[in-house]
Structure 1
Amino acid sequence: MSTNNVNEVEFIQQLGTLLENNPAGQDAPLRQIQEELARLSQNGATSTLEQAYQSLGTAVGKDKGWQTLFRDTGILGSALKDLDSSNRPASLRKQYLRVIGNCVADNDLNREVVVKDLQKLVVLITEEELATIALIVLFNLCNDFDPAKAATAALRLDATISRELFLGHLPEATLDYAVDLLTWTTGKLTADQLKDEYSLETFAALLKVALQYDEDHYHEYVAIIIHYLQDPEFQQYVATPKFVDDLVVLMLDFEIRLTSTEIEAVFQELSITKSDDQPSSEETTVLLLSQLVNSISALSATDAFAQNFTVRSPVIERVRAKLDYPTDRSPSAVCACVMLGNLAMSDEVCIDMVSIMQLHMPLRDIIFFDKHPALVYAALGFLRHLAFPEANRTELGDARIIEGCHNFIASGSDDPAVRGEMAALLCKLVTNNSKNIERVVMYRVGERRGEPGELPLRSVSNGPTCLGDLVKHSLLPARPLPSTAMKNFMVEAGRTIVAILRYLGRSAAGGELDVEAVRLRMFECPDVAKPLARLVRQRFYADARSEGLLGLGLMAQSHEGAASVISEIKEDEGLLEAIKDFAEGKDGGVEQQGQAGGRDYQNAIVLLQALQNNWGDEANAALKDRIMSLQEILGKLMV
C-alpha cells in the first residue's frame, strides 16, 4: 500500500483497512504508515494524527500481535518521542499513551524500550487531562516487570503520586492504579532512598491521606507507612510531635474498626512467645495493626523520641488514656506501656510517674485482670523501669503489685518471656527494700494486710508465699525464650533470692524488719537453695552463675541456711564438682579471671567455710570430707 501523496482521509481509511488484517507479514505496510505519520507530524496535521494513533491504539489493544511490529517499525518510538511535546494537544498525547500502554502490556521487550523514556510518563501524572491514562500506562509497564519498578523508584514516582493524592488531584477511577504503583515503587527503594527527603515527603503525605480513611485503599496506605517505620534510621526522622501524633491517631483509628475476634487475634500476634500450634495470622487487618503497634513502639525507643517528648506531651497524654481498665479491647495499650516505659529513663521522671501521676495503678490492674501475654509483658517492662529508683519500691509494693505478680505466677502461665519479666520485677522490688522482702517471704496468698485497693485474691488459708511459688515454678520445665536478651525466669528467681539474702546479711537486729523471723520463714521454703544451685550449674549466663555462688555462700551463713545448701549438695552430686571445676579454672574460674583473688574464687571460699562453720547432722562424714578436700584445693590456688 502506498501512502505517498494520498489525502489524509484516504490515509485514515487505508490504515483502518490494514489494521483489520492479521498482523503477520504486515511489516512493510506498517513502515509506510510510519513514514506517513512522520510527514503528518511535520505538517502539524493534529486531527489526522489523533485519528491514526487512536486506530493504532485500539488495534494493538485488541490483538497483541501488533506489539512487536509497532516496536520494529518505529510506531512505538514515535509515540514516545512526541509524548512530551508542548505543542501537541492533550487529546493527541492521550492517543500516544494508548498506543504505549497497549504495546507494553505483558511485553517485556517493549517495556525495555519505554523504560528509557520513563520520565516522560511520570510528569504526565500531574496533568489533569492525562493523569488517568498515564497511571494506567505506568501500571501496564510495571506489572510483573521489576526493571520498570526499580526505574520508577529511581525517579521517585512514589513522591509524585503521594503528593497528588494528598492534594486530591487524582480522579477516583485512578486510585487502584496509583496505590499499586505506590506499593511497587516503595518496595524497590534502596536503603539510601528510604531515608532521603523524598521519602519524608511521601510519608507525610500518605499519613495524611490514610487519616482521611478511604475504605478501598486504607490498608494499602497503612502497609506503606509501616514499611517506612520498620527502618531504624527513618524512625529517627519521624520521632517528632507532628508525625507521632498522627501515627497514634492512625493506630487508634485502625483499632476501633476491628471486630472483637480481630482484636483477640492482634493480641495473639503481638505475643512475644509463639507456640508451634499458633501460626501467624493471615488476616490483613490483624497483621497491619500488630505491625503498626510494634513500629510505633520501636520508634519510641529512639534517641530522637527521648529528646522531643516528655510524659506531659499531648500525644503521650493521649496514649496514657489507653491504660485505663478494661484494656482487653485495646492492643494499643501495649504501645502505651512501651512508649511511657521508654520515657521512664531517670529517677526524677520515674518518681513523678508513681507518686504524682499514679501510673503504676493501671499497670497493676493489667497484671491482676488482663490475660493477654503481650500486654502483661509490656506492663511488667514499664513497672520494672518504675522500680529502678529505690524511692518507688515501697509504694509499688503498697499498691499490691507483688501480690499481682504472685497471682500470675501461681496461675501457671507458661509464657517464658512474661514469667522472666515478672521475676525480674520481683527482684528489683525486693532489692534494698525490707517491706517488700517481708511481702515476698512472709505473706501468704489470701492474707489481708489492710493495704489500699480491693483486688481479688485466692482465698486460701495458710497458702503458699510468693517466695514459695517463685521457687516452685522456677524449677518446672520451661519453654525456650524467643530471645536470649530476654529475662530468664529461673535466673531472675535465683537473683531475687540473692537480693533478699544480701539484705538480710547486712541488716542489724532490732530494725524495722524482723531479720531472724524472715530468715527462718525463708528457709522453711522447700528447695529454696535449688534455684541458686542451678545458677551455679548452668553455663550460659556467666554473671548469674557468679550470683548463684554468692547466694549459696550467703545462705550458708546460718545453720538453717547451711542445712538447705547441704541438702541440695546431697541431692545434686554434680554441684560440688561444678564448684571444683570453677575453682580450678576449668570452667570460668581462676585462670580465666586472671587472678587468684577473683570474685568467684572468694565466693567459693566463703561458701565452703560457712558450710563447715554451720553444718550439723545433715552432713555425713563423706560429705564433710569432700567439702574440706575442695577447700584444700582452693587454698593451694591462693598461694
Structure 2
Amino acid sequence: MASLNISTAPGAVSEDAGQNSVSAAKLELPSIEQVLSNLSDMPSALPPRHSETLAQDEQEKMFRTLKSAIESAYESSPLDLKSLQGALYEADADASRGQRDTESLQSVHSILGKLWSTNSGLLSQAAEVFANGSRDPSWRVPIGQSGVLKFFLDVVSSREQVETDLLLHSLRLIGNSCADTDENREIVVKDNYTLAIFRHFLNPDLIHVAIPVIYNICMDYEPAHSQMAENRAAYIILRLLIDGIIPDNEALLGFAYDLVELSSEQAQGVENSPEGTILLLMELALNDDILFEYYSSLVNSLSIYLEKERFQNVCIVNGMVGKALSVLRRSFTIDYDASTKEDVQSMAQLRLKINTALAEISASSLFAEHYPLDSELSQTLKSWVVASEDQLQICACVMLGNLARSDEVCQTMVKNMKIHEQLIAVLNSDARGAVLHSALGFLKNLAISGDNRSRLAKAEIVPAVSRLWAFDSVPQVQFSAATIARQVIISSMDNISRLLAPLSEDSESPAHQRTYLSLLLSLFEKTDSPPIKTEIGRTVASICRTVSPKARDGDEEASSLLERLYKLHEGVAHPVGAMITQTQWPVVRSEGWFALALMATNKSGCAAVVECLQNDDVMELLKNTMAGKHSVSEEGGEANETQVQRDRDNAFVLLQELLKNESGVLSMGYRETMEDLVKDTAMQHLTG
C-alpha cells in the first residue's frame, strides 16, 4: 500500500462530537487521556525554550542560511487530504533524480537547535520548508541521516507549549520523511515516538495530519505495527471514532479504520487493549451510516479479539453476545457491491469470521450460565433456525447446539421448544450443504438424550435424513445423516422398525420391498469414505444388539424384524465387515466381531455372515484374531490385551454359532477351516 504526502489541509471536528459516546457500564472503557497517561514515553531531548537569546537580525540571517541549504526543496503548496495520494505518486516519479547531499543538511542542524532554544518564530517557517521538501523522495534519507528528522520528532514530543503551526509542519515532515523509507521509520520506532504523535490526536487542529503520519510510519513496516499496537492505537482511534472526534473526511476515516485493523492484527495490541474495545468495535459496526469498507475493518478486528478467551468472557459476562449477533445480522442490510467478485468474497469471509467467533463464545461454559434457554437471545437464535439467510441458520444451529450439552437441556429443547421440528424442516428443504451440516450437528446433540429419540423418530427424522444419504457433494452431510440414523435406533425397537419400514405402503410397488436401511446400504456400496462405511456398519450392529437377544427369547416383533433385516437386505453384513477391517478404532472392530456373532445365532443371519467372510481381508483378520495377534491402528497404537482377548472370545463365539446354524451354506473347505480354528483355540485354552 502506498504511503502519503502530508499537507497543511485542516479538518473540522464533527459538530456531533461526543453525542455518540458509549456508556462505560461495567466495562473497562478508559478515556484516551487515561490510556495515554498510563503509557510511558521518551522525554524530549531538546533544551528548554528561552534558554538562549538571539537578536532578530541574527535569527533572520540563520534562517536565510538554512533556507539556502535546502533551496532545492519544493515550493510550499498546500494540499487537501484527497490529493495526498496523488501527490505521493508525483513525488515517487521524481525519485530517479538521485539522493540529496546529507552534508548540506547536517550544517543546518545546529541552526534548528538555535531557533528552538531562542524560541524563534522563524522555526515554524523552517519546519514548513523541510516538510514541503520531504515530499520529494530524494530528500527523505538525508533528512533522517542528518538528524533533522530526530530534531522534529523531539519537537512533537516536547511537553513545553509549542505553537500549532510548528507542530503541524513538524508532523508533516515526519510523515513525509517516513513514506516508504524504513531507515527513517526505524528512527521513529527506536525511541517510541509514535506515542508522542498519538498525543496530538487529541488536538482538533492537528488530528487531520497526525493520523496520516502514523499511517505513513506503519505501512509495510512490521516494527511500527507492533509499537502502534503496544501503544493501544486501536482503542485510541476507536474512541475518537465513536465520539465523533475524527473529522468526517473519507480519506482520513479510511486511514483511521485501516490503522484499527492493522493494530488488531498484532498480538500485543489485543492483549493490551481495554475490555471495552470490543464494545466500541460492535457499536461502530452497527452504525446505520457505516460504509462497507469500514464495516469490513471493524469485523476483521472484532473477530481477532473474540479469538481470545479473555474477550469471549468479557462479551458474555457483559451481555454483549446479542450485539455480536446484530453485527452478523447487519451484514445482510449493509450496502456493498454484489456485482464484484472481491466484495462478494469479502462479505462471505466476514460472515464466516463472525460465525466462527460466535461459535467459540457459545462453546464457553459461561455462555450457558448467562444465556439460558428462556433468554431473549436463545429465542432469537430459535427464530434464525428457519431464517432465509444461510449464515443466520448456521449461527443458530451451532450456538444452540453448543447449549445442548446435557440431557435436561436437550429434552427441554425437544419437548418444550420443539426445536427438532424446525431442524427437520431444514433437512427437508433445499438448504445448502453448510446449513444441512450445521442442522445435523445440532440434531446429533439432541439425539444423545434417550427420551428424545422417540420424539425425533415420530417427527419423521428417518425419512428426512434418508434423502441426505444421496447428498454426495458434501460427504460430511452424508456422514452426519448416517450417524443420526444410528443414534435414534439405539435400544429402540420402535425406531428400528421405522428404519426397516417399506419405502412405499403400496404392496404392488417395487419400493415396498425396499426400506430406509436399503438406502443406507446403497450409500455403503457407493461411498469411498471409511468413516461413512464404518458408521453404517455400526448401525447394522446396533440393530443386531437390540433385536437378536429379544428374538432368541421368543419376542415375535423382534423375530419379525430379524426376518425383514435378512430377507430384504442383501449384503447386510458387509458394513459390519468394514468395521472389522478399519484400522483406526480398535473398539469399533470389537463391536464388529460381536455383531457378526449375534448374526450367526440366526439361521438367516448365518448366510449374511458367510457372505461377509468371503472377503479375504475379513477372513485373514479372523484367523489373526483367533491366534491372539495384536492389531495395529493407523496411528501406530496397538489394541491392549483386554481388547485382544475380547475380540478373540467374540470371534470364537462367532465360529461356534456359525458352525451350529449355517445349515449347509458353508462350503466344505470353509467349514473345515473354521472347525480347525475352533479346535486350535480350544486346545490353546486347555494347554493354557
| 1:297-337 deviations in Å (ceiling 9; x for gaps) | 2321122223332122211211210112xx45332101111
The question of 1:577 aligning with 2:627 is answered no
Amino acid at match of 2:544: L
Aligned-residue offset at 1:50: 1.5
Pair 1:344–1:139, CA change in 2 (3 A):
same
Pair 1:348–1:412, CA change in 2 (3 A):
closer
- Give the match for residue 171 of structure 2: 97
- Give the match for residue 346 of structure 1: 406
| 1:611-636 deviations in Å (ceiling 9; x for gaps) | 01211121122111111111223324
- Give the match for residue 377 of structure 1: 437
Paired residues of 1:366 and 1:376 also in contact (CA < 8 A): yes
CA distance in 2 between partners of 1:13 and 1:158 (Å): 43
- Give the match for residue 78 of structure 1: 151
CA distance in 2 between partners of 1:112 and 1:614 (Å): 86
CA distance in 2 between partners of 1:258 and 1:602 (Å): 67
Q: State which of 237, 242, 249 in structure 1 corresponds to 2:326.
A: 249
The question of 1:208 aligning with 2:283 is answered yes
Aligned-residue offset at 1:376: 1.0
- Give the match for residue 474 of structure 2: 415
Pair 1:511–1:178, CA change in 2 (3 A):
farther
Paired residues of 1:370 and 1:376 also in contact (CA < 8 A): no
- Give the match for residue 358 of structure 1: 418
- Give the match for residue 401 of structure 1: 461
Amino acid at match of 1:154: E
CA distance in 1 between partners of 2:184 and 2:480 (Å): 59
What does residue range 132-147 of structure 1 map to in structure 2 within 5 Å? 132-147=208-223
Paired residues of 1:351 and 1:392 also in contact (CA < 8 A): yes
- Give the match for residue 334 of structure 1: 394
CA distance in 1 between partners of 2:581 and 2:184 (Å): 69
Secondary structure of 1:162's match?
helix
What does residue range 498-513 of structure 1 map to in structure 2 within 5 Å? 498-507=541-550
TM-score, normalised with respect to structure 2: 0.80
Aligned-residue offset at 1:12: 4.8
Aligned-residue offset at 1:186: 1.9
Q: State which of 301, 309, 312 in structure 1 corresponds to 2:363.
A: 301
CA distance in 2 between partners of 1:98 and 1:166 (Å): 26
Paired residues of 1:255 and 1:332 also in contact (CA < 8 A): no
Pair 1:104–1:611, CA change in 2 (3 A):
same
CA distance in 2 between partners of 1:260 and 1:163 (Å): 29
Aligned-residue offset at 1:466: 0.9
Amino acid at match of 1:466: Y
- Give the match for residue 66 of structure 1: 139
Secondary structure of 1:217's match?
helix
Amino acid at match of 1:540: Q
The question of 1:170 aligning with 2:246 is answered yes
Paired residues of 1:444 and 1:462 also in contact (CA < 8 A): yes
CA distance in 1 between partners of 2:244 and 2:281 (Å): 12
Aligned residues: percent identity?
25
The question of 1:530 aligning with 2:608 is answered no
The more displaced of 465-474 and 237-246 is 237-246
- Give the match for residue 559 of structure 1: 603
Secondary structure of 1:602's match?
helix
Amino acid at match of 1:541: W
- Give the match for residue 539 of structure 1: 583
Pair 1:208–1:534, CA change in 2 (3 A):
same
- Give the match for residue 264 of structure 2: 186
Secondary structure of 1:242's match?
coil
The question of 1:608 aligning with 2:608 is answered no
- Unpaired runs of 5+ in structure 1? 266-279, 449-458, 481-487
- Give the match for residue 429 of structure 1: 488
- Give the match for residue 21 of structure 1: 72
Aligned-residue offset at 1:8: 4.6
CA distance in 2 between partners of 1:630 and 1:49 (Å): 103
Amino acid at match of 2:321: V
CA distance in 2 between partners of 1:148 and 1:581 (Å): 65
Q: State which of 316, 327, 346 in structure 1 corresponds to 2:378.
A: 316
Pair 1:479–1:546, CA change in 2 (3 A):
closer
Aligned-residue offset at 1:225: 1.1
What does residue range 108-119 of structure 1 map to in structure 2 within 5 Å? 108-115=182-189, 116=191, 117-119=193-195
Pair 1:29–1:262, CA change in 2 (3 A):
closer
The question of 1:128 aligning with 2:204 is answered yes
Pair 1:27–1:498, CA change in 2 (3 A):
closer
- Give the match for residue 621 of structure 1: 668
Paired residues of 1:363 and 1:383 also in contact (CA < 8 A): yes
Pair 1:611–1:307, CA change in 2 (3 A):
same
Aligned-residue offset at 1:363: 0.6
CA distance in 2 between partners of 1:371 and 1:431 (Å): 28
Pair 1:438–1:257, CA change in 2 (3 A):
farther
- Give the match for residue 452 of structure 1: none
- Give the match for residue 517 of structure 2: 467
Tell me the number of residue pairs that the alignment of Structure 1 and Structure 2 aligns.
595
Paired residues of 2:218 and 2:224 also in contact (CA < 8 A): yes
Amino acid at match of 1:615: E
| 1:488-510 deviations in Å (ceiling 9; x for gaps) | 22111111111111111233689
CA distance in 2 between partners of 1:259 and 1:137 (Å): 29
Amino acid at match of 1:121: I
TM-score, normalised with respect to structure 1: 0.86
The question of 1:161 aligning with 2:237 is answered yes
Q: State which of 446, 463, 466 in structure 1 corresponds to 2:504.
A: 446
Aligned-residue offset at 1:228: 2.3
Pair 1:637–1:420, CA change in 2 (3 A):
farther
Paired residues of 1:387 and 1:396 also in contact (CA < 8 A): yes
- Give the match for residue 593 of structure 1: 640
The question of 1:635 aligning with 2:682 is answered yes
- Give the match for residue 286 of structure 1: 348
CA distance in 1 between partners of 2:658 and 2:339 (Å): 58
Amino acid at match of 1:422: A
Paired residues of 2:63 and 2:122 also in contact (CA < 8 A): yes
Secondary structure of 1:200's match?
coil
Q: State which of 389, 393, 402 in structure 1 corresponds to 2:449.
A: 389
Secondary structure of 2:598's match?
helix
Aligned-residue offset at 1:81: 1.4
CA distance in 2 between partners of 1:563 and 1:421 (Å): 30
Amino acid at match of 1:188: Q
Secondary structure of 1:255's match?
coil
CA distance in 2 between partners of 1:425 and 1:598 (Å): 31
Secondary structure of 1:475's match?
helix
Pair 1:372–1:521, CA change in 2 (3 A):
same
CA distance in 1 between partners of 2:676 and 2:313 (Å): 60
| 1:566-620 deviations in Å (ceiling 9; x for gaps) | 1222x3133222111123233439x953259832222112111110121112112
Pair 1:27–1:522, CA change in 2 (3 A):
closer
CA distance in 1 between partners of 2:103 and 2:479 (Å): 79
Secondary structure of 1:514's match?
helix
Paired residues of 2:426 and 2:436 also in contact (CA < 8 A): yes
Amino acid at match of 1:415: V
- Kindly indicate whether structure 1 or structure 2 has the higher relative contact order, using CA contacts under 8 Å at least 6 residues apart: 2
TM-align CA RMSD? 3.0
Amino acid at match of 1:68: V
Pair 1:330–1:282, CA change in 2 (3 A):
closer
